[in-house]
Amino acid sequence: MTSTSYPAVRLGDDGLELPHSKKDNPGGDKRITLQPGGKAYSAVNLFDYGSQNQTAQSLAIALRGADGHESPFYSVVMKGQKQQFSWNGADVLNWNTKKPYDF
């Protein structure tokens, strides 16, 4: 798999993709090639400023090809309690071969 930039992420059913984080490190145009079984990481930042939050119960992700277009979206199934996301600001980090956060 070869992917560039940041993943295409959708929260809920509205069909809008989250933007790339303006605070992310440069280098989103650098290609990352994974061998079968390899791992790549990114992160979705959700910001809650206290009013006019949006809420969703689902998250879907797609890879972006070298041309910048995304492939089909796939829903992400998470373990644990019923998933729910609340935010009034959100963005996505570039792909990375190392975890962007330690959690």
Domain segments of the chain: what residues?
1-103
Per the DSSP assignment, residues forming a β-bridge with 33 are 2
Q: What is the pLDDT of residues 28-45, one digit of tens each?
A: 556 777 788 888 888 899
pLDDT at 91 over 90: yes
Question: What sign for the dihedral angle of Cα 20, 26, 31, 34?
Answer: negative
**Section 65-73 average pLDDT:** 73
**DSSP-assigned letters across all residues of 26-40:** S-TTS-EE--TT---
